[in-house]
Amino acid sequence: MILTVTPNPAIDLTYRVAALEPGETHRVRAPAARAGGKGLNVARVIAQTGGAAFALTTAGGASGLRLAQDLEADGLPSEVVPVAAATRSSVAIVDEAAGETTIFNETGEPLGTSEWKALHDAAERLAIPAATIVGSGSLPPEAPDGFYAELVAIARRRGVPSVIDATGRALLLAAEAGASVLKPNRRELADTVGGDDPVTGARTLLDAGAGLVLVSLGADGMLAVAPGAEPIAVRLPEPLSGNATGAGDAAVAAVASLLAAGVDDPERLLRRATAWSAAAVLAPLAGELDPGYADLESRLVTV
């Protein structure tokens, strides 16, 4: 079982428009709405591909009740830690003409000290049967920067790998705690360590203590940087058009699935992560893969 931990989930609302025109009024159909947040998307992808995932998250207010009901209706194994703050929303607007997606992410509201403790204690308890632990997504305001580092510590005590997808000090502390794999995108990496060279940035995280760094490069594919090895980058021969929301989550799901199966070769992790990420771009909603995801891996080229 792969345990995913999502401290700051959201109700994901996805609108589709024929062409997005800033400053204009758009008449649209009702949005697709579902329980979201990075860790929940990771769990959905793992389930779709035949793996076993358990999603730990928080929920509060009427929107939190909706989130919990959605998880139950979807049959996704999960545990929800009740919190006072209402669960946030995330709005994705898919411009079908341009093949681009614009996203508005609410920051969420702070959690109380007792709520953080409840989430930590649940993660420690649920880690007992876990083969891999994933910490993924933004942290709400005033969150402890070391929360993801604590998940890494839990994984190390259990002797299982950890995958962290975060940004800023939370990402750096996870590296220092010895995370098995870190998966920032290019912007998140730059925001964390400075500079615009992803190889240099990834090596900074390796020097801090991470075992492997995978960096999403958008249409340019993905980069893997491991200690003592030359960087590896792969991509599809041509860029894809679609909804990139959740592409990084699909990459994390791929990495977690392989690690849970005992596979830790950096190139295999990179190729599977890139293929699943591309398949997510072709899917209509975050947390899903296009049915042809298995074929995409064979099309990847090394750059």
Cα 102 to chain centroid distance, Å, stands at 18
CA atoms of 242 and 41, how far apart (whole Å) = 17
Q: Which of 277, 292, 160, 162 is nearest to 215 (CA)?
A: 277
CA atoms of 151 and 172, how far apart (whole Å) = 13
Q: Which of 214, 270, 273 is nearest to 247 (CA)?
A: 273
Residue pair 89/10 in contact (Cβ under 8 Å)? The answer is: yes
- Which two tokens mark 216? 């999403």
Residue 233 has φ and ψ, to the nearest 5°, of -130, 140
Q: DSSP alpha helices (H): ranges in the chain?
A: 38-48, 61-74, 113-126, 147-158, 169-176, 186-193, 198-208, 247-260, 266-281, 293-299
Active-site residue (options: 196, 249, 264, 290): 249
CA atoms of 218 and 248, how far apart (whole Å) = 9
Reduced to 3 states, what is the DSSP secondary structure of residue 219? helix
Is 249 tagged catalytic? Answer: yes
Residues whose CB is less than 8 angstroms from the CB of residue 58 and which lie 6 or more positions away in sequence, other chains included: 6, 7, 8, 9, 64, 80, 81, 82, 83, 87, 111, 115, 119
- Quickly tell me which residue has 């290019």 as its tokens: 186
- Quickly tell me which residue has 């295999």 as its tokens: 268
Which amino acid appears at position 223 of this protein?
L
Catalytic residues, by residue number, are 249
